[in-house]
Amino acid sequence: MKNTVKQYRQWLLELKQNISQSKLQTTLQVNQNMLVLYWYIGKQIIQKIDNEKWGAKTISQLSVDLQKGFTDLQGFSVRNLLYMKQFAEAYPDFLITQQLAAQLKQSRKKTGQQQINKPKTRKNYNADSTINAENAITQQAAAQFNNMQWFFSNHRLASIPWGHHIYLLDKITDGNERNWYIHKTIENNWSRAVLRYQVDTDLYERQVKAKKMSNFHLTLPKAQGDLANQILEDPYKFGFIQLGEDITEFELEQQIIRHIEEFLIELGAGFAFVGRQVALKVGRRNRKIDLLFYHLLLRSFIVIDLKMDEFEWEDTGQMNGYLNVINKNFRQSTDNPTIGIILCGAKDNIDVDYALQNINHPIGVSEYQYIKSLPALLKEKLPTAKQLKDEVKKIVNRRTKQ
């Protein structure tokens, strides 16, 4: 026991020395440096609790000691220390040393040369992966941490705030899905509130795992077709719709225009609003496009047609006509082919598949849904039914006693 206490005191001294180093403390508010420190502390906690079996109570004591030692700094609560441990467990190779990077580079170079004539096996791949930051950090004295030449193995991880990391660690266990949201957060500059909305509405499932109903792969060059499929979601979820079940297409359009910022967030990065009810003169007929956008990455106009009811075959014919007119009258020589997206209340995928066959224009078909429940951020601020009931009881009891 005495030996453990002595070891703890020595470890605490080393941690405090490293936290006090000007290299970290003077730039602690810089997100990357804060993440480095938190990851390092998390690795140390893993080493002592999981590997050396010091026990979970160590974290409580460490929290007390660090808060006493650094009264000017926040972030050393038990809860946050546990998040540091979780962060280090989720990303064991978040930080790697220069020496380790050279080893990895050399190892991969040799592996690549060896496998010109030899297929790469899973065993060979895992052998490369075992050289990671855990060995690089734990094998060196903690006091030398600030003298290491280190860099990030994944700059994306170091590019989002700590609060975003906490939320993703809490909500998502799958590493691939979590990394996807990190990438999208950086790409779209999501605040934590927007990130929460996207996770709550299962954006990963709708954009990555959903069976996309489109003919993009047949009507667009591969690179553009892949990107077009990436931006297509199914279903789209409109959390801002406030009307009832009998909403009309016109009322839906009005709601979208009124909340165009939320609608653009739901559509994703790259969409620029051009207009609504865009007039098209076709022969003796006057037609109107519900919504017209321009996508900055695809370099093409996007026509969105709103349908309250279930998808019908004639919807593709109408969209096909819209695209012909836009390509002739709006599209410039530098623009890619115009893309159509039909947003409908419901669809049968087999029905859609037949309707899209032999259509030469790129068209996608997706459902949309209203989010009828209150947003998570608002739910947290409102009392539950039980809380309201208890408050009513208190009021009744007080009046009875009077």
Q: Do 249 and 321 fall within a single domain?
A: yes
Can you tell me the distance from the alpha carbon of 16 to that of 70, in angstroms, rounded to the nearest whole number?
9
377-387: average pLDDT: 49
pLDDT of residue 261: 66
pLDDT of residue 122: 32
Q: Do 219 and 93 fall within a single domain?
A: no
128 compared with 118, residue with greater pLDDT: 118
Band of residue 138 on the pLDDT scale cut at 50, 70, 90 = very low
Residue 110 pLDDT greater than 60, yes or no? no
Q: Phi/psi class of residue 69: alpha, beta or left (left: φ > 0; alpha: ψ in -120 to 50)?
A: alpha
30 compared with 135, residue with greater pLDDT: 30
Query: Following DSSP, what letter does each residue of 31-93 receive, concatenated?
Result: HHHHHHHHHHHHHHHIIIIIIS---THHHHHHHHHHHHH-TT----SHHHHHHHHHHHHH-TT
Can you tell me the distance from the alpha carbon of 125 to that of 59, in angstroms, rounded to the nearest whole number?
35
Q: Do 217 and 146 fall within a single domain?
A: no
Residue 106 pLDDT greater than 90, yes or no? no
Can you tell me the distance from the alpha carbon of 334 to that of 294, in angstroms, rounded to the nearest whole number?
13
CATH number at residue 247: 3.40.1350.10
113-117: average pLDDT: 47
Q: Do 93 and 16 fall within a single domain?
A: yes
207 compared with 173, residue with greater pLDDT: 173
pLDDT of residue 26: 43
Can you tell me the distance from the alpha carbon of 299 to that of 339, in angstroms, rounded to the nearest whole number?
10
Can you tell me the distance from the alpha carbon of 19 to that of 66, in angstroms, rounded to the nearest whole number?
10
317 compared with 260, residue with greater pLDDT: 317
- Choice among 114-128, 251-265, 276-290 with the minimum mean pLDDT: 114-128
Strand, coil or helix: 336: coil
H-type alpha helices, 162-234: 162-171, 175-188, 192-200, 203-204, 216-219, 222-231
Q: Do 241 and 349 fall within a single domain?
A: yes
Query: What does pTM read for this prediction?
Result: 0.59
The Cβ of residue 90 has, within 10 Å, a number of other Cβ atoms equal to 19
Q: Which of 40, 118, 120, 38 is nearest to 83 (CA)?
A: 38
Domain that holds residue 70: 2-98+137-152
Angle between helix 78-90 and 31-45 (nearest 10): 90
Asked if residue 38 is part of any domain, the answer here is: yes
342-351: average pLDDT: 88
Average pLDDT, the chain: 75
CA atoms in the 13 A half-sphere facing the CB of 93: 11
Q: Do 142 and 26 fall within a single domain?
A: yes
Q: Which of 319, 74, 295 is nearest to 214 (CA)?
A: 319
Angle between helix 98-114 and 122-129 (nearest 10): 170
Please state the domain count of the chain.
Answer: 2
329-353: average pLDDT: 90
Q: CA torsion angle for 26, 32, 36, 41 (degrees, to 10)?
A: 80
132-145: average pLDDT: 39
pLDDT tens digits, one per residue of 46-92:
888 877 777 778 888 888 888 888 777 788 899 999 999 999 999 88
Band of residue 390 on the pLDDT scale cut at 50, 70, 90 = low
